[in-house]
């Protein structure tokens, strides 16, 4: 290659890198392409062009660039690491793992590959290996924000909240705009009962990244809880005290007790409209496999816990009619905090594990005896199957086989589960709510 061509290549590549670092992606992309027109085997230009394609969401083009860079230079550790990240985003963790390992084999001090390999081991449940690799990454690069964040997620998964908290705080110290660390730190403070601090951090995460869905969900949690307290406080104002005391006296006189539920669970019925079933099928769902939730088997649940806020007239009708039933059951005005559904499909076995619907916030605010759960059985599926979907309760033990339209209300602290293996879809709509008095 002539001296003049080499000079042009070097100048264009340097200028491309400068623009790339400044976020001028379009200019950088054009300059990398100019380099490759003169020298198609310029492995660094190929790798960097792959980085741009990845940012643009063009994973196949990014993958092609990285693979060609590796073909030209098999010892190019950055390209191996970057190819690993593509496979990670495509959900192919084993392939990602092999490329990260190759990057580390070439360069044992490749902090990004070490960090990325640690994330893979975390997702595989091999926490000791995960900690080892991420800690190595920090030792090599003490200011590596994502490594501190990843250590936080590992310790959070292990239930070590204080350690998780310290690593999230370190990540934020280095990068005050790290929205994921801010959001997770907010969750940690929530779990530690420091709700004001939790709200502050989650609000910051949303402010930095308004499209961050998990932070938005967490912010809704805090806002909803504030509304619960506001409504309960309103109900407890002096002008309402006489009304509350009267209600309590009536409960005791009629039922011989001040307990809100006459029976546990309280059972009622509501006719199921075809329109409701059709509406639920039209809504956005999450597969049970996408979440580390209480559900298992073949099925989906609502994408969030706010289906009554959707703009469907049938859902508003259902909310209004279930609200009447809830008020009758607990003999109080109520506040709905969650509304959701799940659909169990044909599988060997699916359903929900033992769980209840209390959270740390309820206990810390003394509301565990004012929170209730409702199940509304929209479609019962095939009840001739070996596991027809009994709703099972603990304390005391009880099994109830739902019929279509059955509404059950029970204290939110009561553990329950359901297992189903029929060939016809089984649909349940759920609500969590508070009594205000």
For 286, phi and psi rounded to 5 degrees? -120, 130
Q: Tell me if residue 181 falls in helix, strand or coil.
A: helix
- Whose CA is closest to 328, among 409, 248, 406, 270? 409
For the stretch 160-163, contacts whose Cβ atoms lie closer than 8 Å and that sit 24 or more positions apart, written own/partner, are 161/188, 161/191, 161/192
- Whose CA is closest to 95, among 105, 81, 109? 81
Q: Where are the beta strands (DSSP E) in 326-415?
A: 334-344, 350-355, 371-379, 388-393, 398-400, 406-411
Query: How many Cβ atoms are within 10 Å of 190's Cβ, its own excluded?
Result: 23
Helix 59-72, helix 77-89: angle, nearest 10: 150
Tokens in use for 433? 């709510």
pLDDT tens digit at each of 437 positions of the chain: 566 778 888 888 889 889 988 989 899 999 989 989 988 999 999 999 999 999 999 999 999 999 999 999 999 999 999 999 999 999 899 999 999 999 999 999 999 999 999 999 999 999 999 999 999 999 999 999 999 999 999 999 999 999 999 999 999 999 999 999 999 999 999 888 888 899 999 999 999 999 998 999 899 888 888 888 888 888 877 655 444 444 444 444 443 444 578 788 999 999 999 999 999 999 988 888 877 678 999 999 998 889 999 999 999 999 999 999 999 999 999 999 999 999 999 878 899 999 999 988 888 888 989 999 999 999 999 999 999 999 999 988 999 999 999 999 999 999 999 999 999 999 999 999 999 98
pTM, 2 dp: 0.73
Domain architecture of the chain: domains with CATH: 3-186 (1.25.40.10), 236-435 (2.60.120.620)
Judged on CB neighbours under 10 Å (0-12, 13-18, 19+), 283 is: middle
Q: Tell me if residue 388 falls in helix, strand or coil.
A: strand
């Amino acid at each position: 290659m002539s001296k003049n061509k080499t000079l042009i290549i070097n100048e264009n590549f340097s200028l491309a890198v400068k623009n790339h670092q400044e976020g001028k992606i379009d200019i950088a992309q054009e300059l990398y392409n100019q380099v490759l027109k003169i020298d198609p085997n310029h492995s660094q230009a190929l790798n960097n062009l792959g980085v741009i394609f990845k940012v643009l969401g063009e994973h196949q083009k990014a993958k092609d660039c990285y693979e060609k860079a590796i073909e030209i230079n098999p010892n190019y550790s950055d390209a191996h690491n970057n190819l690993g990240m593509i496979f990670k985003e495509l959900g192919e963790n084993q392939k990602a793992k092999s490329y990260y390992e190759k990057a580390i084999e070439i360069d044992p001090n490749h902090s990004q590959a070490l960090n990325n390999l640690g994330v893979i081991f975390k997702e595989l449940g091999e926490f000791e290996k995960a900690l080892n690799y991420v800690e190595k990454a920090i030792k090599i690069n003490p200011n590596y924000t994502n490594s501190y964040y990843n250590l936080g997620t590992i310790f959070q998964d292990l239930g070590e909240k204080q350690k998780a908290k310290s690593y999230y705080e370190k990540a934020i110290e280095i990068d005050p705009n790290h929205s994921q660390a801010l959001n997770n730190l907010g969750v940690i403070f929530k779990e530690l009962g420091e709700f004001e601090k939790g709200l502050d951090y989650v609000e910051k995460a949303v402010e930095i990244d308004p499209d961050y869905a998990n932070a938005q969900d967490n912010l809704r949690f805090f806002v909803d809880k504030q509304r619960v307290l506001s409504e309960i406080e309103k109900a407890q104002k002096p002008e309402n005290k006489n009304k509350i005391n009267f209600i309590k006296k009536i409960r005791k006189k009629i039922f011989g007790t001040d307990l809100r539920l006459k029976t546990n669970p309280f059972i009622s019925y509501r006719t199921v409209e075809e329109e409701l079933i059709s509406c639920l099928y039209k809504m956005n769902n999450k597969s049970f496999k996408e979440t580390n939730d209480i559900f298992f088997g073949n099925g989906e649940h609502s994408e969030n816990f706010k289906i009554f806020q959707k703009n469907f007239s049938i859902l508003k009708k259902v909310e209004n009619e279930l609200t009447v039933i809830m008020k009758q059951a607990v003999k109080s005005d109520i506040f709905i905090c969650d509304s959701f559904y799940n659909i169990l499909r044909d599988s060997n076995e699916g359903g929900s594990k033992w769980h209840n619907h209390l959270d740390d916030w309820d206990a810390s605010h003394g509301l565990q005896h004012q929170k209730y759960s409702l199940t509304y059985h929209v479609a019962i599926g095939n009840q001739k199957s070996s596991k027809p979907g009994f709703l099972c309760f603990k304390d005391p033990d009880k099994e109830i086989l739902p019929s279509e339209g059955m509404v059950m209300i029970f204290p939110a602290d009561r553990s329950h589960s359901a297992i189903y293996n029929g060939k016809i879809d089984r649909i349940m709509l759920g609500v969590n709510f508070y009594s205000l008095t």
